[in-house]
Amino acid sequence: MNIFSPDLFRQQFPALKEKTIYLDSAATALKPLAMIEASDAFYRHNFATVHRSQYQHAKETTQQYEATRQQVAELINSADSDTIIWTKGTTESLNFIAQGYFRPRLQAGDEIIVSEQEHHANLIPWLILAEQTGARVIRWAIEDHFLPSINSLNALINKRTRIVAVSQMSNVTGAQIALDKVSQCVHQYDNCLLVVDGAQGIAHHPTDVTAFDIDFYVFSAHKLYGPNGLGICYGKRKHLEDMAPWHGGGKMLTNATFDGFTPAPIPQRFEAGTPNVAGVIAFSATLAWLEKQDMHHANQYALELAEEAERRLSELNGFISYRASNSSIVSFNFEGVHHSDLATLITEKGIALRTGQHCAQPLIDSLNISGCLRISFMPYNQLSDIDAFIDAVIFALTLLKDE
């Protein structure tokens, strides 16, 4: 493992040679050269897809493709690489779980507890499922420190609860709930399962699906320095074995006639059609690159940057923070200033940040705001990024308050 050096880490990201100050990593992480080169090499030199042909190049590609499942399994501490399902992203993974596993099992009167901090990707699929089955979605409200509390979950959960859906880390506040405590609460009931959206958390904190006894865990490769268009869905083997295929086509069966078909074993039964082979191969290179990095100290550095940014923002009149403790995300407003107006002027100074409701409208509503600005840090950021950002904020506030 390489000792973390902010400068050396930053040098591995070609996009940072652009003039824009990138503070939108919660939306998507920048890509290291190792990932870019693997993707380029695949498209330049690879002429095979996977699980299709017997020639040597196809076999080698298939082996590498399947070996990446093992890398992901090791990343999240699953003992079984067959429990790793490739999807297009976190959103598709959650819809796959809702429709593939839960839709045949839910009935009227069942309850789905969803935390108030969720991205729409971990809310809308459950609302759709409830409408389809007659189940009810129960709001698990945020409380102190922008977190839903375990005490509140204990009060909500009961013998009718079938699902508890919660994010590992909020994409607005950066709040991070104790998944081990959530899991203990959920598994008081034999028929209740825990679904965790790890899209934000996976990049900042080690995740152990076995130790936390998580039933389903999902994330997107692009949040973890990997390629776009690739998602990961982990499920306990017993749950996946009980699931019927969600969509059909090539490669997901062992036999087909006009009378029916025989699904392939997991994970192939859930991966109909030609997959995103290039994405998987590029993600393999990303994971190998990550293993060489001192990510503990790297992520601690990103956290320190967020703390410094919040400290300097707090010196400006009217600053309102929605940042949870120990978060690499800083969401904020300024009193009397519309977030969209402020963001427009800040971006004129070459700052990439996010504004609006962040696909988390119930959370925004609970904060009693119409939206907010968000900056987010990764270890490739630096103090000079904060300097440029603060200068842009002061510039924007000066113009807006002179109006």
Considering the domain architecture, whether residues 74 and 114 belong to the same structural domain is answered as: yes
- pLDDT for residue 2: 79
For residue 323, being part of any structural domain is answered with yes
Helix (H, G, I), strand (E, B) or coil at 261: strand
Considering the domain architecture, whether residues 113 and 222 belong to the same structural domain is answered as: yes
User: Percent of the chain scored above 90 by pLDDT?
Assistant: 88
pLDDT tens string 86-102: 999 999 999 999 999 99
Considering the domain architecture, whether residues 319 and 276 belong to the same structural domain is answered as: no
- pLDDT for residue 56: 58
Overall number of domains in the chain: 2
Buried b (16+ CB within 10 A) or exposed e, 42-59: beeebebebbeeeeeebe
Tell me the C-alpha distance between 344 and 374, whole Å. 13
Domain that holds residue 360: 6-30+294-402
For residue 95, being part of any structural domain is answered with yes
- pLDDT for residue 18: 85
DSSP 315-346: TSTTEEE-PPTT-SEEEEEETTB-HHHHHHHH
120: nearest Cα among 143, 137, 101, 107: 137
User: Percent of the chain scored above 70 by pLDDT?
Assistant: 96
Considering the domain architecture, whether residues 170 and 85 belong to the same structural domain is answered as: yes
pLDDT tier at 46, thresholds 50, 70, 90: confident
Considering the domain architecture, whether residues 138 and 255 belong to the same structural domain is answered as: yes
For residue 79, being part of any structural domain is answered with yes
pLDDT tens string 240-297: 999 999 889 988 889 999 999 999 999 999 999 888 999 999 999 999 999 999 999 9
Considering the domain architecture, whether residues 250 and 344 belong to the same structural domain is answered as: no
- pLDDT for residue 54: 60
372 is catalytic: no
CATH number for the domain including 178?
3.40.640.10
Higher-confidence residue: 71 or 43?
71
Considering the domain architecture, whether residues 338 and 323 belong to the same structural domain is answered as: yes
pLDDT tier at 61, thresholds 50, 70, 90: confident
- pLDDT for residue 59: 67
The yes-or-no verdict on residue 53 having pLDDT over 70 is no
Considering the domain architecture, whether residues 236 and 338 belong to the same structural domain is answered as: no
Catalytic residue among 185, 192, 233, 359: 359
pLDDT tens string 359-402: 999 999 999 999 999 999 999 999 999 999 999 999 999 999 76
C-alpha distances in angstroms, 4 versus 21, 118, 228, 403?
22, 32, 26, 46
Domain stops at, among 291, 320, 343: 291
Tell me the C-alpha distance between 269 and 248, whole Å. 8
Q: Which segment of 48-62, 166-180, 328-342 scores lowest on mean pLDDT?
A: 48-62
For residue 1, being part of any structural domain is answered with no
- pLDDT for residue 49: 73
Considering the domain architecture, whether residues 16 and 117 belong to the same structural domain is answered as: no
Task: Indicate the pTM of the whole model.
Answer: 0.96
CA angle, residues 169, 174, 176, in degrees to nearest 5? 45
Q: Which residues contact 400 (CB under 8 A, 6 or more apart)?
A: 337, 341, 342, 345
Considering the domain architecture, whether residues 103 and 201 belong to the same structural domain is answered as: yes
End-to-end alpha carbon distance in the chain: 53
Considering the domain architecture, whether residues 264 and 177 belong to the same structural domain is answered as: yes
- pLDDT for residue 143: 93
CATH number for the domain including 351?
3.90.1150.10
Considering the domain architecture, whether residues 173 and 283 belong to the same structural domain is answered as: yes
pLDDT tens string 286-342: 999 999 999 999 999 999 999 999 999 999 999 999 999 999 999 999 999 999 999
